[in-house]
Amino acid sequence: MVERDKNVFAWYKDLGRMDYKECWDFQRSLFDALIERKMSHRTQSPADCEESVGTVLVVEHPAVYTLGKNGKESNLLLGEEYLRSIGADFYRIDRGGDVTFHGEGQIVGYPILDIERLGIGLRDYIDAIEQSVIDTMAHYGIEAGRLAGASGVWLGSAEERNLRKICAIGVRASRFVTMHGFALNVSTDLRYFNHINPCGFTDKGVTSMERELGSAPDMEEVKELVVYNLSRNLNVKIYKN
């Protein structure tokens, strides 16, 4: 059993709008540094470590498609050259999951955290992210939930054949340190999803808060609520840096 440090904390950094590759490099630098720091303290108990357990990055990207390490390129319905012609980049990356889209009007969260110090495993960590988004949606009166056999946060039901994803999740972990994370559609241009089978699904749709509510909520307010709910569901203090 991991000893839980009751005084753990993490930093929160809002990067605004940033190119995907630039942000990916920044993520990896934080990820590598956190693993290196963890290894240098491997003889200490978690409660003896006074540094933060990591950083939660929040960002919006210009239009970009990313394909997870186990994803199928066939789920990208158009060639890379065409995607670039419509102003979108494409990257094969090292997270789990299949293909997804990131763009303006979407809150992308990258928690780079030592979840061992939080006393949880990867499944509980993903559950906490999903619950944080579900709680945020509830604040706006959007009824959201999980779908068996599929990560992320969903609206609708299989029985009514109206399942639609509002938040995608794909993570990577090494030595219980995480990177990558979630992408919540706030006022995203959903037409970009027509060029892919989102997350590998051909029989399910995508949606956004704007589509569900009829108008776009304030992005800054949604960011703050998501981070607040992450703090609550991960049981860790998160301070803005």
Quick: pLDDT tens for 88-142. 888 888 887 778 899 999 999 999 999 999 999 999 999 999 999 999 999 999 9
Residue 3, pLDDT score: 43
Tell me which of 39-43, 56-60, 229-233 is least confident. Answer: 39-43
**Res. 9: pLDDT tops 80:** yes
Supply the pLDDT for residue 109.
98
The confidence score (pLDDT) of residue 195 equals 79
- Average pLDDT value for the chain: 87
Q: What is d(CA 24, CA 146) in angstroms, rounded to the nearest whole number?
A: 27
Residue 6, pLDDT above cutoff 70: no
CB 12 within 8 A of CB 241: yes
Residue 65's DSSP bridge partners are: 90, 101
- Provide the annotated active-site residues: 199
What are phi and psi for residue 80, nearest 5 degrees?
-60, -35
Architecture of domain 9-240: 2-Layer Sandwich (3.30)
Tell whether pTM > 0.85: yes
More confident: 215 or 88: 215
**Rounded to 5, what percent of the chain is helix, strand, coil?**
35, 30, 35
**β-bridge mates for residue 76, sequence order:** 196
pLDDT band at 197 (very low <50, low <70, confident <90, very high): low
pLDDT in tens, 129-182: 999 999 999 999 999 999 988 889 999 987 767 899 999 999 999 999 999 999
For residue 216, the 8-state DSSP code is: P
The position carrying tokens 């240098």 is 40
For residue range 21-31, what is the model confidence (pLDDT) as tens digits?
Answer: 999 999 999 99
Which pLDDT score is estimated for 84? Answer: 77
How many Cβ atoms are within 10 Å of 85's Cβ, its own excluded? Answer: 10
